[in-house]
Amino acid sequence: MALSSLFVSLPLPIPRPPSTSKSSRFLPIRASPAAAATASPSFDLRRYWTSLISEVEGELDAAMPIRPPESIHNAMRHAVLPGAGKEGAAKRAPPVLCVAACELLGAPRAAALPTAAALEMLHAASLVHDDLPCFDAAPTRRGRPSTHAAYGTDMAVLAGDALFPLAYTHVISRTPSPDPVSHAVLLRVLAELARTVGSTGMAAGQFLDLAGASALGEAEVMQVLTKKFGEMAECSAACGAMLGGAGPDEEAALRRYGRTIGVLYELVDDMRSASGNGKMRSNASVLRSLGMDRALGIVEELKAQAKTEADRFGDKYGDRVLPLYSFVDYAVERGFELQDAATAKL
């Protein structure tokens, strides 16, 4: 089947190829709220995601009280927390993935929540620096002025510099440790977080992106996507796995799952932006380098990979694997808008 012709002839979201519900053990996952109601008692991703977002944002809010010097704390809050109304609502995919991986293994949500919030801080810190005039010079982010536009370039550099250590402080001070999370596990989580934002992870992705990998071939472009987005998602899943007490095989599978989901999510995002009028989030757009046909092929490959990894957990953990499947479908279909859900609580 010519997927490309399907894609251009049908309205977004990208249509799901027929017969995806191959497993009879699981009800088909529907991401849209209307579908979820009819498919009850199927897993409701929207409710799961929404409740987690409010918990994570509660953590973030509490972690950054406004204290002297106020200017820097205001800038940090601006970078991490959504504004009033619809502006600035974030989907918080990394923390949701982290908590889902932890809960999959049967561990309490409280073990993963501080790390989930830390992932958002690290993510926000790198976005603040990525938006600086010497990089993307982005005047807005999530529909609001970017941090440097609102607080000045110097304050934006410092806000990023302060968010990185705050993430580690938060994990250390809020994770229930040494019980149920041992100090040794906590150290592995801290090392994982630091490695992911470091010179071989996200900073490498930003650097490669800066160097203009879009002019290069598929391997280079995929490398940017993997470094900039795949590794963050891998880190989220891996941290959730460690905090949930995963064995080595489970951790490895969740890593692969996370990395695949991260790239998948970004790739679909690029395709949606290219079809609409949104801004490319990555300079190394797969579409520009590879064309829509190849991009659609990669989407299908990634989807199959992610489902294969999730399948490993089905027998052992039953319904707790459902969030993992639902992320795959959500990444591709974007069946609902989380902005509404996230701001409904405000």
Partner 1 sequence: NSALDAAVPAGEPPAALHDAMRYALLAGGKRVRPALCLAACVVSGGREAWAMAPAAAVEMVHTMSLVHDDLPCMDDDDLRRGKATCHVVYGEPIAVLAGDALLALAFEHMASVDSYPPDVDPAKHAARVVRSIGELARCIGSEGLVAGQVVDLEMTGSTETVPLDRLEYIHLHKTAALLEASVVIGAIIGGGSEEQIERLRKYARSIGLLFQVVDDILDVTKSSEELGKTAGKDLASDKTTYPKLLGLEKSREFAEKLLSDAKEQLADFDKEKAAPLLYLANYIAYRQN
* Among 27, 39, 72, 110, contact with partner 1 (rule: CB under 8 A): 72
CA–chain centroid gap for 36, Å, is 22
Name which of 81 and 157 has its Cβ closer to partner 1.
Answer: 157
Name which of 214 and 339 has its Cβ closer to partner 1.
Answer: 214
Name which of 118 and 328 has its Cβ closer to partner 1.
Answer: 118
The CA angle 96-102-105, to the nearest 5 degrees, is 135
Q: Half-sphere exposure of 301 toward its Cβ, with a 13 Å CA cutoff? A: 8
Q: Per CB under 8 A, which region of 52-60, 69-77, 79-87, 247-255 contacts partner 1?
A: 69-77
Cβ partners under 8 Å of residue 180, min gap 6: 107, 108, 111, 245
* Among 3, 138, 162, 252, contact with partner 1 (rule: CB under 8 A): 162
Q: Per CB under 8 A, which region of 85-93, 126-134, 245-253, 289-297 contacts partner 1?
A: 126-134
Q: Are 126 and 119 in contact (CB under 8 A)?
A: no
> What is the DSSP code (8-state) at residue 283?
S
* Among 69, 219, 315, 344, contact with partner 1 (rule: CB under 8 A): 69
**Cross-strand partners of 144:** 141
Using rule CB under 8 A, residue 186 touches partner 1: yes
Using rule CB under 8 A, residue 158 touches partner 1: yes
The minimum distance between CB 255 and partner 1, in angstroms, equals: 17
Using rule CB under 8 A, residue 248 touches partner 1: no
Using rule CB under 8 A, residue 177 touches partner 1: yes
Using rule CB under 8 A, residue 126 touches partner 1: yes
Using rule CB under 8 A, residue 138 touches partner 1: no
Using rule CB under 8 A, residue 174 touches partner 1: no
Using rule CB under 8 A, residue 67 touches partner 1: yes
The minimum distance between CB 222 and partner 1, in angstroms, equals: 14
Separation between Cα atoms, residue 187 and residue 181, nearest integer Å: 10
Using rule CB under 8 A, residue 166 touches partner 1: yes
Separation between Cα atoms, residue 344 and residue 27, nearest integer Å: 28
Separation between Cα atoms, residue 208 and residue 283, nearest integer Å: 10
Name which of 205 and 240 has its Cβ closer to partner 1.
Answer: 205
* Among 88, 160, 240, 323, contact with partner 1 (rule: CB under 8 A): 160
The minimum distance between CB 247 and partner 1, in angstroms, equals: 18
CA distances from 37 to 41, 50, 53, 205, 324 (A): 8, 16, 21, 40, 19
Q: Per CB under 8 A, which region of 97-105, 138-146, 207-215, 327-335 contacts partner 1?
A: 207-215
**Cross-strand partners of 145:** 140
State the DSSP string of 105-171.
TT--HHHHHHHHHHHHHHHHHHHHHHTSTTTT--SEETTEE-HHHHH-HHHHHHHHHHHHHHHHHHH
State the DSSP string of 298-339.
HHHHHHHHHHHHHHHHHHHHGGGGHHHHHHHHHHHH--S-HH
Which residue ranges make up the site for partner 1 (CB under 8 A)?
Answer: 67-69, 71-73, 76, 125-126, 129, 132-135, 152-155, 157-158, 160-162, 164-166, 168-169, 172-173, 177-178, 182-184, 186-188, 190-191, 193-195, 197-201, 203-204, 206-208, 210-211
